[in-house]
Amino acid sequence: MTRVTALAGGVGAARMLSGLAAVVGQQAITAVVNTGDDTVFHGLYVSPDLDTVTYTLAGASNPGTGWGLAGETWSVMEALAAFEEVAGRSLTWFRLGDRDLATHLYRTGRLAEGIPLSQVTAEIAKRFGVAARLLPMSDNRVETRVVVEEDRHWTGDGPGRGWGPRLGEEPGRRGPGGPTREVGFQEYFVRMQHSVAVREVHFVGAPTARPAPGVLAALAEADAVVICPSNPVLSIGPLLALPQIASAVKARRPSVVAVSPIIAGKALKGPADRLLLELGHEPSALGVAKMWAPYAGTIIVDNADAGLAGQIEALGLRCIVTPSVMSGPAEAAKLAEAVLGAGAS
Amino acid sequence: MTRVTALAGGVGAARMLSGLAAVVGQQAITAVVNTGDDTVFHGLYVSPDLDTVTYTLAGASNPGTGWGLAGETWSVMEALAAFEEVAGRSLTWFRLGDRDLATHLYRTGRLAEGIPLSQVTAEIAKRFGVAARLLPMSDNRVETRVVVEEDRHWTGDGPGRGWGPRLGEEPGRRGPGGPTREVGFQEYFVRMQHSVAVREVHFVGAPTARPAPGVLAALAEADAVVICPSNPVLSIGPLLALPQIASAVKARRPSVVAVSPIIAGKALKGPADRLLLELGHEPSALGVAKMWAPYAGTIIVDNADAGLAGQIEALGLRCIVTPSVMSGPAEAAKLAEAVLGAGAS
């Protein structure tokens, strides 16, 4: 049996994991999942990436969104919206479906009993019939914080692509930077719909967080380690911000295969391309390859980026060019085969 | 305007308050509500008595149960039940309806922001359009704890009424008392359905808890103070366990009117009669009168207890005999008129 350990974020990772499961079976897979996005909403501990991976591998996720549960109902959110007038603000910008809420109630109750997140995650996976091993990156709290510039807006994806001047600033000139505000990941990602400029990203707690039980062994013992096509900064970044995880991945470099989430300079979904640009990386498969070069022996890029293969290989990574858009289960399985072929060789 | 301040528990109090509102209008009423039953379920702070009073005064309560919301749905509980197999225990013995959950999410979120319970309670009342002033007895946590004897069972309400021998104990003899266990109020009341013997009741935190803002003024300034027909030990007991509330009620004794929740030796609902017996009180309107004698100048007892009036008056309370079963709004209003007539005179 080929044992696969994957570093995973949310939707992109969940699709990659489904593809891998189609090839080697869920039992062969360990996913180490980002918990930097975890947030407490209304007292409930929510783990968005763990839930997306769990629901997807259970075949229970909403096919329209990739996250949340299929056939969800929204009674609680509707009733909560009735409090917004007295609250004077939105209470429902992070949508929690009725059945999804049960997961959060269960997780929160168990955590309050002192059960570590890794054990609760295993229980939730079991309840959903997921045979893959799902591990939070850590049982310690690591919190992704984003420093945003709220008054700077994206000018579009044309030749002048980038963040425009701040309000009141002369076009074409960029001042020393406007007022910034540090927010939690979900506030940036969901509430602001990632349409503000990002100055910095922090992973609070990461330097001292310990990998969850089983994470280091799963990285050490896997036949192949996969860096899923998740946002390199926001989804994989938190995992590698744990020094022990970073070292363990580097130690397996020849067997580590990364899949670029950037295709032809764009993220399929989400703000990865913009974020790379803002934080000083190149928003391209080459830029991703530069980020992963210390960790991965191989990177898989889409056919659209075939022209970058030479530059990527010059970095010391093997570059495999193959269709990488997972538009359905067949495409995901096909990509998984390429990943596993690269990891095994 | 006749200003009324009521000491309130759950369903019985909510009906009494509705009756009072029908006579003097909600604006004239302040309810000081028991929070000893408040519990955290799955991370959510639940205030059962406050919610029962709020929903009832809003005309939104479930007419079948007296608590919870009318037309409630149960999607979250159904989904939570799916976790019971992995949990190996019931997670849904305290039923939280979908729309009711929104109240708990709102309250929990606000409390986590550092907003005191009294303010959150006012916001929830406003959202439900309740014009009565609802005050938790305290913004400090007071927790009703019940010491139960799980292996002693009720023998019925016949002549031999009482708690039977413990398992393995010789009938007719009662040993020194079996093993006991201290549980929270909801575990006793809902999970065990109050069908176990009670040894003791504690109100943890009460001696040092401060009445919520407005409570003492509402007691001092009311034209009439009403002790609602709630469980004297479990529902009114927590309020009077706060030394400042007990003193404030005693200071108004001539204007305090209590309504007996015991009619012909029985509680209309719940375990009040048994509990009085177990804790050394008489399970009768006379027993209730003895408990309230230091606090109330008047007690209202049902026609069924007319025969006790002489003994009650010998305690130094005025005894008013009137129909006291609030089977509907008309009966509740009629009882409220008797209460207000007694308080005003």
The model's confidence at residue B269, banded by pLDDT at 50, 70 and 90, is confident
Inform me whether the C-beta atom of residue B204 falls under 8 Å from chain A C-beta atoms: no
Inter-chain CB proximity A112 and B76 less than 8 Å: no
The model's confidence at residue A197, banded by pLDDT at 50, 70 and 90, is confident
Of A41, A83, A105, the CB nearest to B102: A83
- Which of A141, A163, A172 has the alpha carbon at shortest distance from A47? A141
Of A41, A86, A109, the CB nearest to B127: A86
Q: Report the distance separating Cα A287 and Cα A302, nearest Å.
A: 14
Residue B58 has a pLDDT of 97
Residue A305 · residue A284 · CB < 8 Å: yes
The model's confidence at residue A337, banded by pLDDT at 50, 70 and 90, is very high
The three-class DSSP label of residue B118 is helix
- Distance in Å, alpha carbon of A192 to nearest chain B alpha carbon: 20
Inter-chain CB proximity A43 and B112 less than 8 Å: yes
The model's confidence at residue B270, banded by pLDDT at 50, 70 and 90, is confident
The three-class DSSP label of residue B267 is strand
- Which of A111, A127, A5, A132 has the alpha carbon at shortest distance from A69? A127
What average pLDDT does the segment A158-178 reach? 56
Inter-chain CB proximity B109 and A41 less than 8 Å: yes
Residue A55 has a pLDDT of 97
- Distance in Å, alpha carbon of A86 to nearest chain B alpha carbon: 6
What average pLDDT does the segment A7-34 reach? 97
Whether the predicted pLDDT of B75 surpasses 80: yes
pLDDT in tens, B154-175: 666 555 556 665 555 555 444 5
Of A73, A98, A123, the CB nearest to B86: A123
Whether the predicted pLDDT of A199 surpasses 50: yes
- Distance in Å, alpha carbon of B278 to nearest chain A alpha carbon: 33
- Let me know if A173 is exposed, middle or buried by CB neighbors in 10 A (0-12, 13-18, 19+): exposed
Q: Per mean pLDDT, which range of A43-57, B64-78, B116-130, B224-238 is the poorest?
A: B64-78
Inform me whether the C-beta atom of residue A123 falls under 8 Å from chain B C-beta atoms: yes
Inform me whether the C-beta atom of residue B119 falls under 8 Å from chain A C-beta atoms: no
Whether the predicted pLDDT of B339 surpasses 70: yes
Residue A98 · residue B98 · CB < 8 Å: yes
If phi > 0 it is left, if psi is from -120 to 50 it is alpha, else beta; for residue A35 that is: alpha
Longest dimension (CA), chain A: 61
Q: Report the distance separating Cα B287 and Cα B151, nearest Å.
A: 27
Whether the predicted pLDDT of A158 surpasses 70: no
Residue A314 · residue A286 · CB < 8 Å: no
Size of interface A-B (CB pairs under 8 A): 114
- Cα dist from A318 to A16, A291, A309, A310, whole Å: 20, 14, 9, 10
Q: Report the distance separating Cα B113 and Cα A87, nearest Å.
A: 12
What average pLDDT does the segment A17-45 reach? 97
A contacts of B101 (beta carbons < 8 Å): 76, 79, 101
The three-class DSSP label of residue B3 is coil
Residue window 55-84, chain A: list those with CB within 8 Å of chain B.
Answer: 73, 75-80, 82-83
Residue B281 · residue B327 · CB < 8 Å: no
pLDDT in tens, A272-325: 898 999 899 999 999 999 999 999 999 999 999 999 999 999 999 999 999 999
Average pLDDT, chain A: 92
Whether the predicted pLDDT of A172 surpasses 50: no
Crossing angle (nearest 10°) for helices B11-24 and B48-57: 30
Q: Which two tokens stand for residue B296?
A: 């109330």
Length of chain B: 345
Q: Which percentage of chain A shows pLDDT scores above 70?
A: 91
- Cα dist from B198 to B105, B166, B189, whole Å: 32, 13, 11
The model's confidence at residue B268, banded by pLDDT at 50, 70 and 90, is confident
> A76-100 burial, b for 16+ CB within 10 Å, e for fewer?
bbebbeebeebeeeebbebebbbbb
Using only C-alpha atoms, what is the Rg of chain A?
20
- Which of A34, A16, A38 has the alpha carbon at shortest distance from A135? A34
Phi, psi values for residue B308, rounded to 5°: -90, -5
Whether the predicted pLDDT of A268 surpasses 50: yes
The model's confidence at residue A173, banded by pLDDT at 50, 70 and 90, is very low
The model's confidence at residue A191, banded by pLDDT at 50, 70 and 90, is confident
Tokens 């009565």 locate to B132
Q: In order of start, what are the domains of chain A with their CATH numbers? A: 1-140+214-345 (3.40.50.10680), 143-204 (no CATH)
Can you give the pTM of this predicted structure?
A: 0.91
pLDDT in tens, A120-141: 999 999 999 999 999 999 999 9
Q: Report the distance separating Cα A76 and Cα A83, nearest Å.
A: 11
Q: Per mean pLDDT, which range of A246-260, B128-142, B161-175, B318-332 is the poorest?
A: B161-175
Whether the predicted pLDDT of B299 surpasses 80: yes
Residue B38 · residue B205 · CB < 8 Å: no
Model ipTM? Answer: 0.90
Alpha-carbon torsion (B57, A77, B68, B191), positive or negative: negative
Neighbours of A178 (CB within 10 A): 17
What average pLDDT does the segment B31-60 reach? 97
Inform me whether the C-beta atom of residue B129 falls under 8 Å from chain A C-beta atoms: no
Inter-chain CB proximity A109 and B73 less than 8 Å: no
What average pLDDT does the segment B250-269 reach? 95
Q: Report the distance separating Cα A94 and Cα B173, nearest Å.
A: 61
Question: Which residue of A lies nearest to B102 if distances are taken between CA atoms?
Answer: A80
Q: Which two tokens stand for residue B252?
A: 């108004």
Residue B188 · residue B197 · CB < 8 Å: no
Residue B192 has a pLDDT of 87
Q: Per mean pLDDT, which range of A130-134, A168-172, A261-265, B204-208 is the poorest?
A: A168-172
Tokens 């007996």 locate to B260
Q: Report the distance separating Cα B225 and Cα A127, nearest Å.
A: 52
Of B76, B82, B85, the CB nearest to A101: B76
Q: Which two tokens stand for residue A153?
A: 């807006």
Interface test with A, best of B38, B54, B80 (most A CBs within 10 A): B80
Whether the predicted pLDDT of B49 surpasses 90: yes
- Cα dist from B297 to A171, A246, B232, B312, B313, whole Å: 79, 74, 16, 11, 10
Query: Which neighbouring-strand residues pair with A181?
Result: A148
